[in-house]
Amino acid sequence: MPQAWLLGPFVIKVDLVLIIVSFVLGFLFFYWISPYPKEKTKNIIDTVSNIFITFMIAIWIGKIVLQFQTFLSDPVAILAYPANTNAFYIAVILTILFSKWRWIKSIDQYYDNLYVFSTVFLTTNFIYSFLDHILYQKNWLYLIGLILLLVFIIYSSDKKSPNIIANITLIGWGLLQIVTQTTIFQFTPHLIFYIVFVMIGVLQGYTYYRNRRSMR
């Protein structure tokens, strides 16, 4: 299987096509299992899609920051540089900060968006990894772990609150990444990155249950 296709003067990477297809299917999957009313589902999907777009723009910002001298001397050349893991870190931080300022105004909005984001991301990751495995024979263990997380999401979508689902999937995904050491698409974050996400999930889950008990 070729790594890219030539379309006239353009080079279209196979990985990019797989990612786009996977994201489209990820959003369709959430729309299918969504426990929310149709109007709220559309609004949250719109917000989460904007968050993903923000992340992609932030990746470019990260590339410019890391290759600033190249950007100043030849801005077009920055297109030739693949985004590395440091650009990924910058993009994650910028996306979180911008999303908090632009779209997430309350704790309920935070958990609703985190639930939708994690569902779309896990579905996208599974579809991408599955297609990647078919084409390039990659890790089956990772696929099995993603399937288990998606089964949990499907089973729990109309039974548990978005807070619980979001935190459990966050913890489960972080642990899965630690065990399998699989890349996030083309990026390879440090182990500490996943540990931080697991800790965030644990702390959020603990806070949620503590608040529930105090309200009884």
Q: pLDDT tens digit string along 42-80?
A: 999 999 999 999 998 999 899 888 888 877 787 776 766
Going from N- to C-terminal start, the domains of the chain cover 14-215
Does residue 156 carry a pLDDT above 70? Answer: yes
Instruction: With beta carbons less than 8 A apart as the criterion, state whether 204 and 184 touch.
Output: no
Question: Please, which pLDDT band fits residue 30 given cuts at 50, 70 and 90?
Answer: very high
Q: What are the backbone dihedrals phi and psi of residue 13, each rounded to the nearest 5 degrees, phi first?
A: -75, 140
- Taking the C-alpha atoms of residue 188 and residue 84, their distance in angstroms, rounded to an integer, is 8
Question: Please, which pLDDT band fits residue 108 given cuts at 50, 70 and 90?
Answer: confident
For residue 19, the model assigns a pLDDT of: 84
> 3-state class of 90 per DSSP?
helix
Q: How many helices (H) and strands (E) does the chain have?
A: 8, 2
- Taking the C-alpha atoms of residue 41 and residue 35, their distance in angstroms, rounded to an integer, is 8
